[in-house]
Structure 1
Amino acid sequence: MRFIAPRSEHTVKLQHHLGGIENLGPINPETRVFVEPWEQRIFGIHTTMMAESAHLADALPAYPVRDLPTRFKSDWTWASLRTGAEDMQPFEYFKYRYYEKWLGGIAQFFVDAGYISTEELAEKTAFYRAHPDAALPDRPSAPLASQINAYLQQGDSGYHEADRAPRFAAGDTVRIADPEAVDHTRLPGYLRNKAGTIDIVYPGRFSYFVSTGVDGIGKPMPVYRIAFEAADIWGPGKSESSTTIYADLYEAYVRAAN
């Protein structure tokens, strides 16, 4: 089954940050991170892909990813995972549980990148359905296990020292941009075109390990914490009084108020 639906160039990503969307049904109060054992394995697969990702060659920690004994030579970041979910048709998106979306996105990535064919994936799926107790692939080798542990401890920081002054300062009133819809964005839909106040200018600059194209992020840039009055976002009739919403946003999403 292909989980990722075709994307329209101007589709609004309703499923990216759900604030303000009404009639989504009852809230699931489940507090467990993993409900089923297979969900832990999906999280582990994603983590291993992150730890082996080619983009780590340029990350702040010095990772020997080019020398790892692995066939995996692609970039895989949180953006890669989120793109699969955000690219789904919204009505399809709400059919699946959290880690089902992860599974669909990861599986489709391996097919699209040529690591496995659709037929091979179907064959493996049928085999493990028929033999759920069959042995799983070997655990990572010592070098891969060491890399995974190092990644879990150090991450893939995109922090850079500042080389210019930020465009805005704490206390400035700003308006949020409304860029063209793309495969993946870090801009919540409910903040587009809204006015807010710069609360904190974070020191340094921060990169995103993939480029979002016309959305505007990728290269290192300042990041701001911006305060919004809830009533200015959703209207006074649908907001609790004296409620402030804070969002960390890349400078590419921030405009002067006038």
Structure 2
Amino acid sequence: MKLQHNLGGLEGLPQPLTLEKRVFVEEWEKRIFGIHVAMMGLSNHLGSALPEYPIAEVPTAFRDEWTWADLRTGAEAMNPFDYFKFRYYEKWLGGITQFFIDKGYVSEDELAAAVGAAAPSPDGAGDAIDDQVIDYLRRGDSPRRDVAHPRFAVGQKVRITDVPAGAHTRLPGYLRARTGTVQRIFEGDYGYFVETGDGIGDPMPIYIVEFTPHELWGVRAEPGANTLYAELFEAYLQPVEENQ
């Protein structure tokens, strides 16, 4: 994430960190969160997910995939200046709204006309949709799709890739081209649901990689026995030998 999407490890940020502890600051934020959860509970990918849901039988007009990855991709596609200007759930609202426009569920003119209008009454399909969303809340969905098939071993030195960042990535910018040591391999192959364009999407192993502060920040690293650990998809790792 080379722009606004991951600022860890960077100095001189223009604004102080907020210590706000409330999950929802405004009442409308709860509704945005609920819309997102309902979309996940009705997502097409659940038909082949673990556990499997009877999505094809649910009488909903929503016939697309929506996951946390889609939410992040939509929010991070915002203009960087808007990204810093808007609050957390305003970014959610922007990403969700653009998704509905792009997929043809609603137009910008229809959205503008609906502002301030009363919400439509639910039809007879509402109960079945509610049951599916509640079932999803109870059972959830796991990105794990298989046992792990790791290319790297615990204790192995690896170098992090520096591929061009697309609209979304799960690779923090300050780790790019740095060398670390594999400390743990998670037990499964995990999918990300969205193809990011920089290597992740299909199921693959995930590792915990250890980095020394000196490796990351050189002479600016603080003294002491400090260590940084990062969870990284296998596509972001290369054996050190390939880069020598």
TM-score, L = length of structure 1: 0.86
Residue 58 of structure 2 is aligned to residue 75 of structure 1: no
Match of 2:82 in 1: 92
Distance 2:164 2:111 in 1: 35
CA 1:200–1:51 in 2, change beyond 3 Å: closer, same or farther?
same
Distance 2:202 2:189 in 1: 9
Match of 2:114 in 1: 124
Q: Secondary structure at the match of 1:223?
A: strand
CA 1:137–1:179 in 2, change beyond 3 Å: closer, same or farther?
farther
Residue 40 of structure 2 is aligned to residue 55 of structure 1: no
Q: Secondary structure at the match of 2:187?
A: coil
Map 1:101-112 onto structure 2 (within 5 A).
Answer: 101-112=91-102
Root-mean-square deviation (CA, aligned residues, Å) is 1.9
CA 1:232–1:63 in 2, change beyond 3 Å: closer, same or farther?
same
Q: Deviations over 1:33-86 (max 9, x none)?
A: 100000000000000001101111121111111111110001111111111222
Match of 1:5 in 2: none
Match of 1:8 in 2: none
Match of 2:147 in 1: 162
Q: Secondary structure at the match of 1:222?
A: strand
**C-alpha displacement at 1:240, in angstroms?**
5.5
Task: Report the AA paired with residue 138 of structure 2.
Answer: Q
TM-score, L = length of structure 2: 0.91
**C-alpha displacement at 1:178, in angstroms?**
1.1
Match of 2:34 in 1: 44
Q: Deviations over 1:196-239 (max 9, x none)?
A: 110101112111212223x1112221111111123322334254
Alignment check: 8 A CA contact 2:148 2:186 kept:
no
Alignment check: 8 A CA contact 2:46 2:53 kept:
yes
Match of 1:254 in 2: 237
Out of 2, 24, 30, which is 1:13 matched to? 2
Alignment check: 8 A CA contact 2:148 2:204 kept:
no
Task: Report the AA paired with residue 117 of structure 1.
Answer: S
Distance 2:111 2:233 in 1: 38
Task: Report the AA paired with residue 158 of structure 1.
Answer: P
* Structure 2: unaligned runs, 5 residues or longer: none
Match of 1:148 in 2: 133
Q: Secondary structure at the match of 1:24?
A: coil
Alignment check: 8 A CA contact 2:32 2:92 kept:
yes
Distance 1:206 1:239 in 2: 34
Distance 2:21 2:231 in 1: 25
Task: Report the AA paired with residue 209 of structure 1.
Answer: F
Q: Deviations over 1:4-44 (max 9, x none)?
A: xxxxxxxx632222112222311111000100000000000
Distance 1:55 1:200 in 2: 29
Q: Show structure 1 runs of 4+ deviating over 3 A.
A: 134-140
Question: How many equivalent residue pairs?
Answer: 239
Distance 2:204 2:161 in 1: 16
Out of 190, 201, 204, which is 2:174 matched to? 190
Stretch moving more, 229-238 or 61-70: 229-238
* Structure 1: unaligned runs, 5 residues or longer: 1-11, 129-133
